[in-house]
Amino acid sequence: MKRLSMICLFLLVWAGTMFAQTLKSPDGNLTLQFRLSAEGTPVYSLQYKGKDVIKESKLGFSVRPDYQFDRNFTVTDTQTSESNTTWKPVWGQYSEIRDHHNELFIAMKQNGTGWLLNLRFRLFNDGLGFRYEFPVQKELRHFTVNEEETEFRLTGDHKAFWLPGDYDTNEYPTTTSKLSEVASLIDSVRQEPLAIRSATPNLAVQSPLMLKSAEGLYINIHEAALVNYPAMQLNLDDKGFVLSTHLTPDRNGTKAYVQTGSVTPWRTIVVSDDARDILASNLILNLNEPCKLADTSWIHPTKYVGVWWEYFTGQGSTWAYTDTQDIVIGKTDYTKLKPNGHHGANTAHVKEYIDFAAKHGFDAVLVEGWNEGWEDNYAYSKEFIYDFDKPYPDFDVAELQRYAQEKGVKIIMHHETTSSVADYERQMHDAFRFMNKYGYDAVKTGYVGGIIPRSEHHDGQWMVNHYLRVAKTAAQYKIMVNSHEAVRPTGLCRTYPNWIAQESARGTEFESFKGNRPDHTTILPFTRLMGGPMDYTPGIFEGDLSQYGSNQAKLSTTLVKQLALYVTMYSPLQMAADLYQSYEKHLDAFQFIKDVAVDWDNTYILEAEPGDYITIARKAKGKNEWYIGGITDENAREAVIDLSFLPEGKKYEATIYADGKKADWRTNPQDYVISTKKVSSKTMLKQRLAPSGGVAISIKELE
């Protein structure tokens, strides 16, 4: 980095309250203003193309014992610099990412206490990131945070795509409303039946928060590099339209335990007047540290099937091996228990999935319900519940390793903890050694229910540290991690790319609870996916669950929209979630899932409006193949697909998977039409999408 100016000597002569500084984004569209207020409080504001995005907003902390660490500051040093570099992710939407930003660093000292607090702002063309830094200092070594008091003062009553503030779950459906309407809606949203809920006591929403102003400005507020700090909720002042940080506390009310010599996560504001720029933004990844793993050769994007959806369809398959519930883990001898006869993860059934995966070119088979303890799955207060290296008697782990290896397929490990986290940490090394022994290189972790230790919330500092600890420890064993029910991601997959995906939002499983709305996946890329890839587990072909039994749930999309999700919901880990029998009934449509890539050279956001529609094209990594996914909400629409991203002067064949004329998610979701068409970079496709429908296109270069 090049230091542009060193004006600290000059500033030291100034009174702190006279300090003010301005920073521009490289393209000049964004302007950050920073100053100290008359009270010596640091404040900032952000403008986009000359208009306010964030009005002057305060920064600082209240710390314990009750003390305001947000005023009486003097600026002691300031540095500005520019950085323009590129880096290559191990996997991603782009094979190369540009990180071009201007930086402003502010060092401050609080009068009276002598405590030091630094601020670092990075202004990109697509938004702002800033964080607090606590330098090592003599007068302040350890402190606890009552609250971080970062404000985001908005310019009006924006449209918001929001989840209720909650310390333990991000599985609510997204509500779309004006900020002024949140208060009247939030209580009913909070009635959502979820395994665990811990509502913020005040009016608050979660991040990533997607906003749209009346003037058509798109604003996304989130955080980057959440390490050793609680996740941020956003308090909502719905009169002044002010958001402010509300850190997830532990159950004693403490928000963060800080030792100086550390930094907070970055607070991120992605801004544009074009919604497509929000989806195209790499700002959050850019604010994360470069990859810390020396060897990443063993990390590989993965497409998988699994023994999973059958647990949700209502057909009777169970994670548990037996109906006996009086299990004492480590003591109960399962070989002496009577099997219930409908245990999903039995050797023969897993082999069917291995066969299917091998036949259709999938990399892996996820198997849930393979290990001892599931009988007590709902005993959420039970600390000693699972054994992570004890397969059920009917799951022959050695034979399955042999069989899968012979077929060229991996089995994906599953570690459901029901949030008995301290016990999972006790078993973690043994569990990873077990995985190494039996050839597993990826694990899906689960955190259903309330956390044990009982002082903790899913989104608090202790658990934030846990999730990262799992990812880092797994890396020692060359294991990829896909965490479910964990804190929402913040781009840490750049630093630890074996943390290959997360759920951390309302996934496909909620389709079986009648829980997803047609607009759901038109919003997620603007919210949940801002922090990293999601294991959404799309690909449900048989959307009418009454086919299986008593479950009356119906899928909220057409079949084709399920195909499109493989492109619109970016993830290097993609499941074909339905039963293999469902695919065998629609092998022509299934061809798209077989073909679609899971790693990309480039991504083109063609159309996007949060809550309404998304159309994305991507070029497969290292191949002259492109895949396009377009989806819409409950409203039919015509997608306009400009293929100008294709290299010029060549011919291509597009295979188009389209909603049929009678397709409708409510009445006729399986109506689809597959056609092929010759296309070039000059082609502009117009494609009708059914209500909650989609379009999926694969494009290959013609020889």
Kindly list the catalytic residues.
509
- Shortest distance (Å) from residue 256 CB to a second copy: 10
d(CA 633, CA 116): 50
- Shortest distance (Å) from residue 206 CB to a second copy: 24
CA angle, residues 32, 38, 44, in degrees to nearest 5: 15
The DSSP bridge partners found for residue 619 are 602, 626
- Shortest distance (Å) from residue 337 CB to a second copy: 13
Nearer to a second copy, 433 or 623 (CB): 433
Of 481, 582, 570, the C-alpha closest to 526 is: 570
Nearer to a second copy, 101 or 382 (CB): 382
- Shortest distance (Å) from residue 475 CB to a second copy: 15
| Residue located via tokens 């800080």 | 258
- Shortest distance (Å) from residue 478 CB to a second copy: 20
d(CA 93, CA 595): 17
Nearer to a second copy, 330 or 622 (CB): 330
- Shortest distance (Å) from residue 193 CB to a second copy: 18
Nearer to a second copy, 240 or 261 (CB): 261
Of 164, 224, 218, the C-alpha closest to 194 is: 164
223 within 8 A of 150, measured Cβ to Cβ? no
- Shortest distance (Å) from residue 248 CB to a second copy: 14
By CB atoms closer than 10 A (0-12, 13-18, 19+), residue 500 is: buried
Q: Which residues bind a second copy (CB under 8 A)?
A: 136, 141-142, 144, 250-252, 254, 257, 259-261, 325-326, 328, 376, 379, 381-383, 422, 425-426, 429, 453-456, 462, 465
Task: Provide the b/e sequence for 136-172 (b: ≥16 CB within 10 Å).
Answer: eeeebeebebbbbbbbbbbbeebbbbbbbbbbbbbbb
Write out the DSSP string of 542-586. Answer: --BGGGTSS---B-SS-HHHHHHHHHHS--SEEE--S-HHHHHTT
Nearer to a second copy, 9 or 328 (CB): 328
The DSSP bridge partners found for residue 117 are 108
d(CA 408, CA 359): 10
- The residues near 256 (Cβ < 8 Å, ≥ 6 apart) are 144, 145, 148, 229, 230, 247, 461
- Shortest distance (Å) from residue 249 CB to a second copy: 11
Cα–Cα distances in Å, from 637 out to 447, 607, 634, 685? 38, 12, 9, 13
d(CA 484, CA 101): 33
d(CA 569, CA 656): 18
Identify the helix (H) or strand (E) that includes residue 211: strand 209-212
32 within 8 A of 121, measured Cβ to Cβ? yes
Nearer to a second copy, 326 or 333 (CB): 326
φ and ψ at 491, to 5 degrees? 90, 5
What is the identity of the amino acid at 407? Answer: K
Nearer to a second copy, 82 or 425 (CB): 425
The DSSP bridge partners found for residue 256 are 145
100, two tokens = 């071009």
Nearer to a second copy, 51 or 141 (CB): 141
d(CA 243, CA 232): 11
Nearer to a second copy, 254 or 655 (CB): 254
Nearer to a second copy, 189 or 227 (CB): 227
- Shortest distance (Å) from residue 288 CB to a second copy: 19
